Amino acid sequence: MVELPKYRQVYEFLRRQIVEGAYPAGEALPSENALANAHGMTRPTVRKALSLLISDGFIVKRRGKGSIVKGAPKGIGILSITGTTSAVGRDNILTHIILKPERRRWTEAFSFPVSEEEREAGCIYFERLRVVEGTPVFLDVTMLPDVRLPHFTSYSLENRSLFNFLRVKYHIEVTGGTQQLFAIRADKRLQEHLQVKAGYPVLQLNRKIETTRAGFHIYSQVFCATRAYGLIGTF
């Protein structure tokens, strides 16, 4: 088992501190030098951790002032790299398996081109519904190539983060991705699962997710009814 790199450790540490409210919104984190001392590392390493917090939208930095904690945003941060599970408040999200992982042939990956190797490997396909505080919010369709994933289809993903699952079971780390956004009308299937009326506007997200394993991508399609929560993100 490989240790997380130092900058990731501090990142995780600070992230937890912030969401737990150790630093109220508007307050500054300890200075970069202070953090470096406290964690036994140098300033460049701390800065790398902080830059992750910035791109996650947890802090902003002001020259001469410090790293100021942003208030917890209202909405669901699915636009960033964090998976759906950790994007919400986490405690109040339930995952319901609509279609268990099964092997398929690739047809297409949500308008993303599929490489030759991926096509040959075959496709693992499953559908999940995410329920936040009793109301269905996401319909999540996932496709990934069936290469070196022993016993994948026999595991249950009920209430489990796919990204964490891939990391601990198969050593696959998510590194980033591309996404495409559309506004569409709810069709019959979406009406049913997301509990909206016919023709209701729904967000559609097509994502191609890069990983540390070269050539291994996760293709994911998310449908989201934004009546209560908007999707939020930072840039």
Partner DNA sequence: CCTCATTTGTACGTATGTATC
Partner DNA sequence: TGATACATACGTACAAATGAG
The contact set with DNA (CB under 7 A) reads 5-8, 28-29, 31-34, 40-45, 47-48, 61-67, 214
- Write the interaction track for its own copies spanning residues 80-109; mark x where CB under 8 A is met and - where it is not: xx----------------------------
If you compute the radius of gyration of the chain from its CA atoms, what whole number of angstroms results? 19
Tell me the C-alpha distance between 8 and 196, whole Å: 40
By C-alpha distance, which of 201, 209, 169 is closest to 183? 201
Site track 35-74 with its own copies (rule: CB under 8 A), x = hit: -------------------xx-x--x-x--x-------x-
Pick 11 or 125: Cβ nearer DNA: 11
Nearest to 202 by CA among 218, 222, 216: 222
Q: How many CB atoms lie within 10 A of CB 85?
A: 16
From the list its own copies, DNA, none, partner contacted by residue 40 (C-beta under 5 to 8 A by kind): DNA
Q: Which residues pair with 218 in a beta bridge?
A: 209
Minimum CB separation from DNA for residue 56, in Å?
Answer: 16
* Least gap, CB of 31 to its own copies (angstroms): 18
Size of the site for its own copies (CB under 8 A): 38
The piece of 5-13, 26-34, 155-163, 170-178 that touches its own copies (CB under 8 A) is: 170-178
CA distances to 139, 166, 230 from 84, in Å? 11, 14, 14
Report the C-alpha gap between 145 and 128 in whole angstroms: 18
Could you tell me which stretch among 29-37, 125-133, 134-142, 202-210 binds its own copies (CB under 8 A)?
A: 202-210
Tokens 């909405």 — which residue? 75
d(CA 154, CA 101): 8
Among the listed residues 41, 132, 157, 203, the single contact to its own copies using CB under 8 A: 203
Q: At CB < 8 A and 24+ separation, what contacts does 58-63 make?
A: 58/14, 58/15, 58/18, 59/18, 59/29
Q: Measured from the CB atom, is 83 or 101 closer to its own copies?
A: 83
Residues that bind its own copies (CB under 8 A): 54-55, 57, 60, 62, 65, 73, 75, 79-81, 175-185, 199, 201-203, 206, 210, 214, 224-226, 230-235
